[in-house]
């Protein structure tokens, strides 16, 4: 009987240890992004011949991780999956050209705005004058990224037919093949693709939206992380680091 009691005690102690290990906080800060959004986040082949995700959002995330004393772990996924992954706890934060829409503010915690950019219309170079105004896009076939602010812009164009895709590369391919007439893209992203893809250009049409700024998303209940994110963003804005990150990432994207 005594042996059984000792065995039971040992089993219970092991369970306590395993439970404690299961609740131990990770040393990694897990970032969710969609790495098809240069100069924000995109893939390159680095000097070692390895695939690497780079961009100014990535540099911001590295600074947040550093201030938290954690290692940054990046998970690349479709843009329309990011907030669900955040809510489920599979990623700790999202930095991926995320606009602070009212719907998103209800779903997750949003940081202060760290960068502001205009939207753009991209089309085949031969059609630049044809789609020079937002009115000229009425009834056109428009390519947009699924669940993005650009999708909301296209929804406001009378008679427009939308093709919503997960990856911007696929939108550009649809444009090149003539399956869509134009695409709504974020300004610096449009510029990066136009410099690297022949036969496409930015038109004079100017999309308008109230959500041009970009923010970091965290789980709604994680106010502690949100406060630290805002603290890091404030530092990076005030010391000019974000402007530096944008310039460096834009130059890299042009290559």
Q: What is the pLDDT of residues 189-241, one digit of tens each?
A: 999 999 999 999 999 999 987 766 899 999 999 999 999 999 999 999 999 99
Question: How confident is the model at residue 8, as a pLDDT?
Answer: 41
DSSP one-letter string for 175-186: HHTTSSSEEEEE
Angle at 211 between CA 134 and CA 209, to 5 degrees: 15
Question: How confident is the model at residue 251, as a pLDDT?
Answer: 86
Stretches where the chain sits below pLDDT 70 are 1-26, 211-212
Question: How confident is the model at residue 75, as a pLDDT?
Answer: 97
Tell me whether residue 240 is exposed, middle or buried, using C-beta atoms within 10 angstroms of its C-beta: 0 to 12, 13 to 18, 19 or more.
exposed
Q: What is the pLDDT of residues 168-189, one digit of tens each?
A: 999 999 999 999 999 999 888 9
* CA–CA separation, 121 and 143 (whole Å): 10
Average pLDDT for the chain: 89
* Residues facing 73 on adjacent strands: 30
Question: How confident is the model at residue 248, as a pLDDT?
Answer: 94
Question: How confident is the model at residue 26, as a pLDDT?
Answer: 63
Question: How confident is the model at residue 212, as a pLDDT?
Answer: 64
Closest among 39, 68, 61 to 194, alpha carbons compared:
39
Domains in the chain: ranges and CATH: 26-116+212-254 (3.40.190.10), 119-202 (3.40.190.10)
């Amino acid at each position: 009987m005594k042996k059984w009691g000792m065995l039971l005690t040992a089993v219970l102690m092991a369970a306590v240890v395993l439970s404690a290990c299961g609740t131990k906080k990770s040393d990694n800060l897990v970032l969710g992004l969609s790495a098809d959004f240069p100069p924000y986040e995109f893939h390159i082949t680095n000097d070692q011949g390895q695939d690497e995700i780079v961009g100014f959002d990535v540099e911001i995330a590295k600074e947040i991780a550093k201030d938290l004393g954690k290692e940054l772990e990046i998970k690349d996924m479709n843009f329309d999956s990011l907030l669900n992954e955040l809510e489920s706890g599979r990623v700790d934060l999202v930095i991926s050209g995320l606009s602070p829409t009212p719907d998103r503010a209800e779903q997750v915690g949003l940081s202060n705005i760290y960068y502001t950019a205009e939207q753009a219309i991209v089309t085949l170079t031969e059609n630049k004058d044809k789609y020079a105004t937002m009115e000229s896009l009425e009834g056109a076939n428009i390519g947009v990224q699924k669940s993005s602010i650009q999708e909301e812009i296209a929804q406001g164009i009378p008679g427009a037919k939308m093709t919503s895709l997960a990856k911007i590369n696929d939108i550009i391919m649809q444009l090149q093949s003539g399956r869509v007439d134009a695409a709504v893209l974020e300004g610096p992203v449009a510029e990066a693709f136009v410099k690297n893809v022949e036969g496409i250009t930015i038109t004079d049409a100017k999309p308008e939206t109230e959500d041009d700024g970009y923010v970091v998303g965290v789980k709604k209940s994680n106010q502690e992380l949100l406060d630290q994110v805002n603290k890091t963003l404030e530092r990076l804005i005030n010391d000019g680091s974000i402007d530096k990150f944008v310039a460096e990432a834009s130059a890299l994207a042009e290559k």
